Amino acid sequence: MSTAVSPLAPKSLTPMPVIDGVRLATASAGIKYKGRTDVMMMIFDEPAAVAGVFTRSRCPSAPVDFCRANLSNGTAKVLVVNSGNANAFTGKKGKEATTLTAETAAAAAGCGTGDVYLASTGVIGEPLDASKFAGVLADMAGQAKPDFWQDAAKAIMTTDTYPKVATRGATIDGVSVTLNGMAKGAGMIAPDMATMLSFIATDAAIAAPALQAMLSEGVGESFNAITIDSDTSTSDTVLVFATGKAPGQDRVTEPDDPRLDDFRAALHALMKDLALQIVRDGEGARKMVTVNVTGAESDRAAFEIARSIANSPLVKTAVAGEDANWGRVVMAVGKAGEKADRDRLAIWFGDIRVAFQGERDPDYSEEHASAVMRQDEITIRADLGIGDGQATVYTCDLTKEYVAINGDYRS
C-alpha cells in the first residue's frame, strides 16, 4: 500500500487561527493499533449551537444514530471522534459502545449525554471496545487547547494521505467572525470504509436552527457534489458548532436574517474547500475532474447527469489513461435516465469542444483534446441544449492503484 501523499494535495498545510471557546486534544487509545493517535476531542467552554447532516445510507452506524437523536437538543458541549473502528453494523453491542463512550465523554466534559456528539471511522462490523476511551477522555478534556487544529485533523485520518483543514473569515453585523473546518475521507485501506467526516467550528453567535439551515443549504454544492467511487458510507457526518464567543456579536436566530449573508457565503466556501480536498485524496487519484452539466431540463436532472458521468468507470478510466474519450461521456449522459436529446448534445474537454449537435465537432483536434487530458485538473462539460438546468460534480480518475488499495489487502 502506497503511503505517498496524493499528487493532487495542496502544496502546504493551511495555518489555522484559534476559535474562541473551542479547544482540541488528541490521544492514543489503542482502538485498533497500539501507539497510533486515534482519538480526537473538540470541547466547547460553554455549550455551542450545533447543526449536522448525515449519511442517507439505510444502514447507518451507531454514532450516526446517536448524533441524529441529539440534534434536536440544539446544543453541544463535546465531540469525540475515533478512527480504527467505525462502530457500524455492530448491533446491540454497537449501541452499548456508543452509550458508554457518550457517558465517559459527558463525565469528562461536565455535561449530559444529550450534549455529546460522536463519530467513528474505520472497520465495519468489529465491535468497538468503548472501555478504551475510559482511560483517555478525562485527560483530553483537561489538556485540550485552542491552537491544535492541524494536529486534530491528523488524528481523524484513516488512510488520508494528508490532513484536511480550511479556514474562512466573515462579518456578521460588522463583527468579524472566524470559521475553521477539518475533514477526512477518501483515503482507504482494505477493508475499511471511505467515510467522510467533517467538523466545523465558529465563534459566531448563531442559533442552532439558523446554523442547520445554512449547513443544509450548503451540502448540495459541496459534500454532496463529490464522489470518489459512488459508494456511500454508513458513517458520513458533517457537524457545525457555533460557540458565540465573538466579542460584541449579537446572536442571530433567524435563518433568513440578511446579517448572515456573508457568514453563509463563507461557510459554503469552507465546506466546498474541504469537500474538494477530499476528492484530491481519492484513493489512487492522479487527476481531479470537474463535471459541469448545463442546458438540462432542471437543476436536479443536471445533477443526476453530472453524477452519472462522474461515477462512470469507463469515463474515469479514460481520464486515468489521458484519453479524450468523449464517446463515453455521451454514454454516461444517456444512461442517467434524464431527458436528453442526443442531437442537441455538446461536449467540451477543458475549452476544447469535442462534440456538437450530436456528432463529433467539425474542428475536432485529437492533439488539442489530448493536451487537455494530460493536465492534473480536467473539466468535462456536457450541454444538453434542452433547458436551463445546471450542476457541478467533482470526482477523480479510476486507476489500478484504487483496485490495489481496495483489493490487494486481506481483512
Kindly tell me which of 68 and 259 has the beta carbon lying closer to a copy of itself: 68
358 forms part of the interface with a copy of itself (CB under 8 A): yes
Other Cβ atoms closer than 10 A to 32: 18
363 forms part of the interface with a copy of itself (CB under 8 A): no
230 forms part of the interface with a copy of itself (CB under 8 A): yes
Other Cβ atoms closer than 10 A to 302: 27
Q: E strand or H helix at 274, and its extent?
A: helix 261-280
Joined grid coordinates for residue 75: 446544543
Binders of a copy of itself among 190-209, rule CB under 8 A?
A: 190-191, 193-194
The least CB distance from residue 191 to a copy of itself, in Å, is: 4
Other Cβ atoms closer than 10 A to 325: 19
Binders of a copy of itself among 238-267, rule CB under 8 A?
A: none
User: In the set 6, 26, 55, 82, which binds a copy of itself (CB under 8 A)?
Assistant: 55
The least CB distance from residue 57 to a copy of itself, in Å, is: 3
The least CB distance from residue 41 to a copy of itself, in Å, is: 26
Kindly tell me which of 181 and 282 has the beta carbon lying closer to a copy of itself: 282
Other Cβ atoms closer than 10 A to 411: 9
Joined grid coordinates for residue 363: 474542428
In the stretch 76-95, what mask flags binding to a copy of itself with x, by CB under 8 A? ------------xxxxxxx-
Kindly tell me which of 70 and 234 has the beta carbon lying closer to a copy of itself: 234
- State the Cα angle at 166 between 164 and 170, rounded to 5°: 165
Q: Which residues contact 143 (CB under 8 A, 6 or more apart)?
A: 25
- The residues assigned a catalytic role are 195
The least CB distance from residue 350 to a copy of itself, in Å, is: 16
Q: Which residues contact 92 (CB under 8 A, 6 or more apart)?
A: none
The least CB distance from residue 183 to a copy of itself, in Å, is: 19
Which residues of 262-304 form beta strands (DSSP E)? 288-296
Joined grid coordinates for residue 329: 461521456
Q: What residues form the annotated binding site for substrate? A: 158, 184, 195, 283, 406, 411
185 forms part of the interface with a copy of itself (CB under 8 A): no
219 forms part of the interface with a copy of itself (CB under 8 A): no
Binders of a copy of itself among 140-179, rule CB under 8 A?
A: none
| Spatial distance between the Cα atoms of 147 and 303, rounded to a whole number of angstroms | 39
Q: How many residues bind a copy of itself (CB under 8 A)?
A: 78
Binders of a copy of itself among 304-333, rule CB under 8 A?
A: 311-314, 317-328, 330-333
Kindly tell me which of 141 and 305 has the beta carbon lying closer to a copy of itself: 305
Binders of a copy of itself among 114-143, rule CB under 8 A?
A: 123-127
69 forms part of the interface with a copy of itself (CB under 8 A): no
The least CB distance from residue 115 to a copy of itself, in Å, is: 26
3-state DSSP percent of the chain in helix, strand and coil, to 5: 35, 25, 40
Kindly tell me which of 135 and 337 has the beta carbon lying closer to a copy of itself: 337
| DSSP secondary structure code for residue 223 in this structure | G
Joined grid coordinates for residue 233: 458510507
231 forms part of the interface with a copy of itself (CB under 8 A): yes
- State the Cα angle at 280 between 274 and 284, rounded to 5°: 145
| Spatial distance between the Cα atoms of 67 and 344, rounded to a whole number of angstroms | 47
Kindly tell me which of 130 and 214 has the beta carbon lying closer to a copy of itself: 130
> What residue has cell string 463529433?
360
